[in-house]
Structure 1
Amino acid sequence: MVPGHDDGLWGIGELAGRVGVTVKTVRFYSERGLLPEASRSSGGHRRYGRDALGRLRLIRSLRALDLPLPQVRRILDEDAGAGQALEDVVDQQLRELGTRLVTLRWREAALRMIQESSPQERADRLLLLGAVTSAPNTDSLVRFWRRWLPPRMPARAIAAFMEQTVPEPPDNPTPAQVLAFARLHAYVTRPCTSTAPRGQPAAHRASPDFRPAVLYDGLGEAYALAAVQLRRERSPHSGEALDCFVAAYAAASGTYDGVDFRRRLAGQLAQDPQIDRYWELTAEVIGPIDGRPPPTPGSAHDWLLTALTGQIPELIA
């Protein structure tokens, strides 16, 4: 038993001294209902029961974790911090802390990037950084692709496509990755000009019966197969990846693969708007894998188109 007065109650000063906080702190928690008093003395002074000792220590521990008062109250109201409320609050705090840490890492990398830039580069790079939020998000990239994608795409197909084409900003970026992401944001938000085409690819207008979800499901598989070849540093060639690529366009157009179809498809794809810069910057944002640029849907598409174009003379012969 903790010794106290004969009535088993402590004054505010004694309670504060036992926990190692100030009288002002105890009064603050009392006035906000976090630390109920047991009674008042004849002189109107607050008196606290022995359970206040453990409660005040718990409050101090929770506040040391930087938990706001509403969350402290929620925990106190549920079995002195032993219930689900504590787990929920801790999970929320960890998520928020993780977001703040990512923001700080991006800020640090951005500062290092400016520090490492030449005086001639700094003004332009500061403008690039100023257009990107301190905790970068990919909203501008998603909007860019929504303009690119054909209509009537199911939500499932759009989500799968975005997962492939929109690079996730790294949690711990290098200065080069911060600069690449800022440039990527500038690329997708720049005004549309004759040198920056954003029109729909010709294959999107192939026929009234065009089925975009079928196309992009098939392209995702074809790009994955081509990525294997890219990682092996294989030159573009006929095979499973190319057949899957052509089959995706044929199925989406409601036609059959054949020599004439492959010739028409190669011609259509050769006229598509070029967004090579997007894929170059995307590879920089992702960062090298085993010292080499990572495959992207753009590099996979180029590999497949080169393979298709190179196959045409063989098909005609």
Structure 2
Amino acid sequence: MDATTLFSIGELSRRTGLPVRTIRFYSDAGVVAPTTRTPAGYRLYDLDALLRLELLRTLRELDVDLATIRRVLDRELSVADVAAVHADAMDARIRVLQLRRSVLRAVAAGGAGPEEITLMHRLTQLSGEERRRLTDDFIEGTFGTRGTLGDLGDLGTSGAADADPAAAAMVRAALPDLCDDPSREQVAAWVELAELVGDEDFRARMRRTAGRQAAGRPLDIESAAGDELMEFTRQKVTEERESGTDPRSERGAAVIDDLVHRFAEVFARTPDREFREWMARQFEEAHDPLVDRYWRLVWIVNGWQVVPDLIPVYPWLIRALRT
């Protein structure tokens, strides 16, 4: 074969694997024009046309559009440039497919209803930039200026708040970041988290709790009870938690009864149900169950190891006080 060799359209079809009608379409579109024609009017193509067709077929199999292929064949674009652009596009497409797969797995495992499926799909389809905008709005709406959720406005609106730089910095340092190929647990956690950060009540609770945590201020009940009683309480509850004692069990009831009597003596109060509820509210200022849930969801979304409660003593103590 040399540069003067001419091929019929049937021969081109056999050599490239493209159907005759496809070659004829490309020929009529001017992408691969015939070199000449036979006296009977049949198209003939040279070696350059064969090479162009083979490159065209390869690029089409890689989902490169015909307009871009024409520019490559006309040497307006290099194959390397096109490959780089389409590799990036393919990466984005793979990420979308991975998210869709994760949504389907979460739906299959959790038996979600139609509304939950729609919300789940909608939230996971957000780009990385849109997800960051969602969390940025949460920070601004909770600790700074008023923000909105833009296209996700129906998920909730944020409210104005006095800036608390330390608390905002603490929360911003551990924002949720959904990976490209999340597990079904991460998808479910992300959906729950996205709904949670748009809730005004939650933002107020986060503002209060994070502000205290960032400042490291002791609770009023801690200061009034004194270091000795608080150290005894932490030690006692830690022992029960580590031994697996249920705060609602008989053993848990005995432990909390002893602690309630000790606190009642210090505060000169009657160790009754009202006093127990007062204690529970006091300790809740440092441990809000909904805020704790937020942190657990962040750990799950980010793929971090889920660690014990931020303040290990108080969740057990509060549950026991209210049993």
Does the aligned pair in 1 maintain the 2:6–2:45 contact within 8 Å?
yes
Does the aligned pair in 2 maintain the 1:128–1:186 contact within 8 Å?
no
Question: What is the TM-score normalised by the length of structure 2?
Answer: 0.54
Structure 1 Cα separation of the partners of residues 66 and 172 of structure 2 = 39
Q: Which amino acid aligns with 2:120?
A: L
Q: Which amino acid aligns with 2:125?
A: S
Partner of 2:302 in structure 1? 286
Q: Residues 127, 73 of structure 1: CA spacing in aligned structure 2 closer, same or farther, 3 A cutoff?
A: closer
Measured against aligned partners, the alpha-carbon deviations of 1:138-196 in whole angstroms (never above 9, x if no partner) come to 13222222323436xxxxxxxx9997343221122111111000101111233x24x65
How far off its partner does 1:282 sit?
0.9
How far off its partner does 1:10 sit?
2.9
Is residue 180 from structure 1 mapped to residue 189 from structure 2 by the alignment? yes
Cα RMSD between the aligned structures? 3.9
Larger Rg computed on CA atoms: 2
How far off its partner does 1:276 sit?
3.8
Does the aligned pair in 2 maintain the 1:180–1:285 contact within 8 Å?
yes
Partner of 1:111 in structure 2? 104
Gaps of 5+ in 2: 146-168, 215-233, 235-284, 315-323
Question: What is the TM-score normalised by the length of structure 1?
Answer: 0.55
Q: Which amino acid aligns with 1:37?
A: P
Is residue 132 from structure 1 mapped to residue 123 from structure 2 by the alignment? yes
Gaps of 5+ in 1: 152-159, 205-215, 217-234, 236-269, 307-317
How far off its partner does 1:201 sit?
6.8
Is residue 33 from structure 1 mapped to residue 30 from structure 2 by the alignment? yes
Does the aligned pair in 2 maintain the 1:102–1:135 contact within 8 Å?
no
Structure 1 Cα separation of the partners of residues 107 and 33 of structure 2 = 54
Structure 2 Cα separation of the partners of residues 109 and 199 of structure 1 = 29
Q: Residues 196, 21 of structure 1: CA spacing in aligned structure 2 closer, same or farther, 3 A cutoff?
A: closer
Quick one: which of 94, 104, 129 aligns to 2:87?
94
SS of 2:204's equivalent in the other structure is: coil
Summarize the alignment of residues 126-165 of structure 1 with structure 2, pairs less than 5 Å apart. Answer: 126=117, 128-134=119-125, 137=128, 138=131, 139-150=133-144, 164-165=173-174
Quick one: which of 169, 175, 179 aligns to 1:170?
179
Structure 2 Cα separation of the partners of residues 134 and 31 of structure 1 = 40
Does the aligned pair in 1 maintain the 2:106–2:188 contact within 8 Å?
yes
SS of 2:197's equivalent in the other structure is: helix
Moved more, 180-189 or 94-103: 94-103
Is residue 197 from structure 1 mapped to residue 169 from structure 2 by the alignment? no
How far off its partner does 1:278 sit?
2.8
